[in-house]
């Protein structure tokens, strides 16, 4: 079975500070996808990124960056120069690539980020 752990339940930062959200995962499979989703107060799930287990290159998209380290089973998410609009709950998730399952997502418990103006 897969498991995703987001140890930080809540984080508060002051606007313009950088913040890193941690994600650690467990799986016996060698091929999988990792995801980050944002859930604003309105409740919908907004897809942010998907990474393949074969690809450990870090990725940057504007103020967002992701650090994938297979050696430590971590997929951390950094927001640079945080803004009030970044306030949301952020979920890390995993799903397998191989096997005969239905490839459902396994989510972490989420980290609530509050950015204070």
Partner 1 sequence: EPEVTQTPSHQVTQMGQEVILRCVPISNHLYFYWYRQILGQKVEFLVSFYNNEISEKSEIFDDQFSVERPDGSNFTLKIRSTKLEDSAMYFCASRATSGSGGEQYFGPGTRLTVT
Is 70 in contact with 82 (CB distance < 8 Å)? no
Tell which one of 1, 28, 41, 44 touches partner 1 (CB under 8 A): 44
Both tokens assigned to 52:
């393949």
State both tokens at 70: 């297979």
Residue 114 in the binding site for partner 1 (CB under 8 A):
no
Using the rule CB under 8 A, is 61 a contact of partner 1? Answer: no
Q: Which residue has the tokens 């752990």?
A: 5
Taking CB under 8 A as the criterion, the residue among 36, 91, 94, 115 binding partner 1 is 91
Binding region for partner 1 (CB under 8 A) out of 11-19, 59-67, 72-80, 106-114: 106-114
Under the binding rule (CB under 8 A), the answer on residue 66 touching partner 1 is no
- Please report whether residue 104 would count as binding partner 1 according to CB under 8 A: yes
- Scan for tokens 């990725």, then name that residue: 59
What is the token pair recorded at 91? Answer: 């979920």
């Amino acid at each position: 079975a897969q498991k995703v752990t987001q140890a930080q339940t809540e984080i508060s930062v002051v606007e313009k500070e950088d913040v890193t959200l941690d994600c650690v995962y467990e799986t016996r499979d060698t091929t999988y996808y990792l995801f980050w989703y944002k859930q604003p107060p309105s409740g919908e799930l907004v897809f942010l990124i998907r990474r393949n287990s074969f690809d450990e290159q870090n990725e940057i998209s504007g103020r967002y960056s992701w650090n994938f380290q297979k050696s430590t089973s971590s997929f951390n998410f950094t927001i640079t120069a945080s803004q009030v609009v970044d306030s949301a709950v952020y979920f890390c998730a995993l799903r397998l690539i191989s096997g005969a399952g239905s490839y459902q997502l396994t989510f972490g418990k989420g980290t609530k980020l509050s950015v204070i103006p």
